[in-house]
């Protein structure tokens, strides 16, 4: 079983649609959780951290369920510029300086 698993993509949606990404992780000792965005041939960039209480940043909402070991990302009113690959990321042991474990990524394509 992979340590971090995401929905297989790609997702093709029209502008304005709401998109949900799901992610599960296998290690219950996981410490921190993130969603990163990666554009083609570029390095990943942090989209948002994910907290147990849930957090929102504009059109983006992230949720964490530690009991189910499940993370989600919701994008509302999707824009063309949201087209990218979304990576679910987990850190295992904090004092190892931030070792990140990546999901395989889910590609999103927003069409006019």
Q: Among 22, 55, 69, 104, which residue interacts with another protein (rule: CB under 8 A)?
A: 104
C-beta closer to another protein: residue 8 or 54: 8
CB of 13 to another protein, least distance (A): 20
Assess 101 for contact with another protein (CB under 8 A).
yes
Contact call for residues 5 and 87 (beta carbons, < 8 A): no
* Nearest-angstrom CA–CA distance, 103 and 21: 12
Encode 29-50: b = buried (16+ Cβ within 10 Å), e = exposed.
ebeebbbbbbeeeeebeebbeb
- Considering only residues 31 to 90 of the shown chain, the ones binding another protein according to CB under 8 A are 32, 34, 41-46, 49, 87
CA distance 97 to 43: 19
- Upper half-sphere CA count for residue 104 (Cβ side, 13 Å): 8
Cβ 106 vs Cβ 57: under 8 Å: no
Rule CB under 8 A: choose which of 35, 37, 83, 105 binds another protein. Answer: 105
Show the binding pattern over residues 6-35: x = contacts another protein (CB under 8 A), - = does not.
--------------------------x-x-
- Contacts with another protein by CB under 8 A lie at 32, 34, 41-46, 49, 87, 94, 96-105
């Amino acid at each position: 079983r992979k340590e971090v698993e995401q929905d297989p993509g790609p997702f093709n949606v029209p502008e304005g649609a709401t998109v949900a990404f799901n992610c599960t992780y296998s290690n219950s000792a996981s410490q921190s959780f993130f969603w990163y965005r990666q554009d083609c041939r570029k390095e990943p960039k942090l989209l948002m951290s994910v907290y147990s209480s849930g957090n929102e940043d504009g059109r983006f909402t992230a949720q964490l369920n530690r009991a189910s070991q499940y993370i989600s990302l919701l994008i509302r009113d999707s824009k063309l510029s949201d087209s990218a690959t979304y990576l679910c990321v987990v850190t295992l042991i904090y004092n190892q300086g931030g070792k990140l474990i990546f999901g395989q990524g889910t590609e999103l394509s927003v069409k006019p």
